[in-house]
Amino acid sequence: MTSERSTRDTIIDAANRLFYREGIRAVSVDAVAEAAGLTKRSLYYHFKSKDELIADYLRLRDHPNLQRYAAWYGEAEGGVAERIGAIFEHLATEAGKPGWKGCGFLRTAAELVNQPGHPALKIGVEHKKRVEAWFAEILAENGVQEPTRLARQVCLLIDGAFSQAMLYRDPGYFREAGLAARALVGAAIVGPATAAT
């Protein structure tokens, strides 16, 4: 049982490296098997299809991504606006690294745009919803007005920055989006107090 699980993990790890670096269409099952040090037959013993492997590749990325956001938020100083802004700063730092290829969820979604029923798209949607729900939760905890709506706006800024940073190869888009996020969140906190005076 343990060897089965570790073999499956080895395959997913290989797929994660290759799919993220080169894209899901460009990477064959043969290439994943070779990178995992296995035969194609052995890979298909653990995964019924390439589609299942793609879905598990995104599933692998789900919780670590959200945990990173939570860690960056938790380590930052200041109020909720500054701490959300810090997430964008960290994303800018990540985007400046040589191996950075953008958001694996967005890139996979773009490659699967003509396959709306693909299992990987469902996992991508669930991931994005979890991120949005997490932002809504921390905004609500900090007394921000309309936390669900504001969480959606913050997520739009994040995904927009991913798209622009990937297109222009410029991490500065994350910093600009972070300034916008700080302003939006700050206004949602200050607004009611200002109106009361």
Spell out the per-residue pLDDT of the chain, length 197, in tens: 445 558 999 999 999 999 999 999 999 999 999 999 999 999 999 999 999 999 999 999 998 999 999 999 999 999 999 999 999 999 999 999 999 999 999 999 999 999 989 999 999 999 999 999 999 999 999 999 899 999 999 999 999 999 999 999 999 999 999 999 999 999 998 544 443 33
Instruction: Please provide the size of the chain in residues.
Output: 197
Instruction: Among 1.10.10.60, 3.10.129.10, 1.10.3720.10, 3.50.30.30, name the CATH number for the domain at 1-47.
Output: 1.10.10.60
**Global model pTM greater than 0.85:** yes
Q: Among residues 91, 93, 112, which one has the least CA distance to residue 159?
A: 91
Structure tokens at 143: 């007394």
Per domain, the residue ranges of the chain are 1-47, 55-196
Backbone angles phi, psi at 82, to 5 degrees: -65, -35
- How many of the other CB atoms lie within 10 Å of CB of 156? 14
| pLDDT for 39 | 95
| CATH no. for 55-196 | 1.10.357.10
| pLDDT for 5 | 58
Q: How far apart are CA 181 and CA 7, in angstroms?
A: 42
Contact 145, 188 (CB under 8 A): yes
| pLDDT for 190 | 54
Q: How far apart are CA 114 and CA 127, in angstroms?
A: 20
* 25: CB partners within 8 A, 6+ apart: 111
